[in-house]
């Protein structure tokens, strides 16, 4: 595991999202054991207290379950996982569309830009999401 940090977001939130993505995308399956506090801390070069906070938040969201003395496990409730997937996707979608509208793009522009970016993606492999799209005009 390795995460690109450095943003302006708190580390514990970034790690939270990283783990949630792994669960939602199936890299971590329901019931799977997740790394221990100390193990992940050493792995990511992050203080154990920060990892502990990350995990407490994940537990508060019912994404993982704790068995004291044993470790932490991905929830077995697949409905919960699906709900989180929808929530995360909805959040991404909203931020994108709302953001583009604020920049002055029309709805049809937005669809075109996404279509083109995805087409680029298919041609070039997964590179960088087409940064300066040619259709990026309002």
Partner DNA sequence: ATTAGTGTTATAGTTAGATAGTACACTAGA
Partner DNA sequence: TCTAGTGTACTATCTAACTATAACACTAAT
Residues contributing to the site for DNA (CB under 7 A): 8, 10-13, 36-39, 46-50, 52-53, 55-56, 66-72
From candidates 43, 59, 61, 110, binder to its own copies by CB under 8 A:
110
74 binds, among DNA, its own copies, none (CB under 5 to 8 A by kind): none
C-alpha–C-alpha distance, residues 120 and 54, integer Å: 36
Instruction: Considering the complex, state which of residue 22 and residue 112 has its C-beta at the smaller distance from DNA.
Output: 22
- Tokens coding 4: 């690109």
Q: Which is nearer to its own copies, 76 or 107 (CB)?
A: 107
Window 47 to 76, contacts with its own copies (CB under 8 A):
none
In angstroms, the CA 54 to CA 5 distance is: 14
Distance CA 63, CA 75 (A): 6
Q: Residues touching its own copies: how many (CB under 8 A)?
A: 47
| Other Cβ atoms within 10 Å of 15 Cβ, number | 23
CA–CA separation, 91 and 71 (whole Å): 30
Radius of gyration of the chain (CA): 18
Residues at the contact surface with its own copies, assessed by CB under 8 A: 8-10, 13, 21, 24-26, 85-90, 92-105, 107-108, 110-111, 113-115, 117-118, 121-122, 126, 128-133, 136
């Amino acid at each position: 595991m390795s995460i690109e940090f450095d943003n302006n977001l708190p580390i514990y939130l970034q790690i939270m999202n990283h783990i949630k993505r792994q669960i939602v995308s199936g890299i971590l399956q329901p019931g799977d054991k997740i790394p221990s506090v100390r193990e992940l801390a050493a792995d990511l070069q992050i203080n154990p207290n920060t990892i502990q906070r990350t995990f407490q938040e994940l537990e508060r969201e019912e994404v993982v379950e704790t068995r004291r003395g044993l470790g932490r496990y991905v929830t077995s409730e697949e409905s919960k996982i699906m709900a989180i997937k929808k929530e995360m996707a909805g959040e991404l979608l909203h931020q994108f569309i709302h953001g583009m509208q604020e920049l002055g793009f029309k709805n049809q522009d937005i669809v075109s830009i996404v279509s083109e970016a995805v087409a680029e993606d298919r041609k070039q492999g997964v590179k960088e999401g087409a940064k300066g799209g040619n259709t990026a005009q309002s």
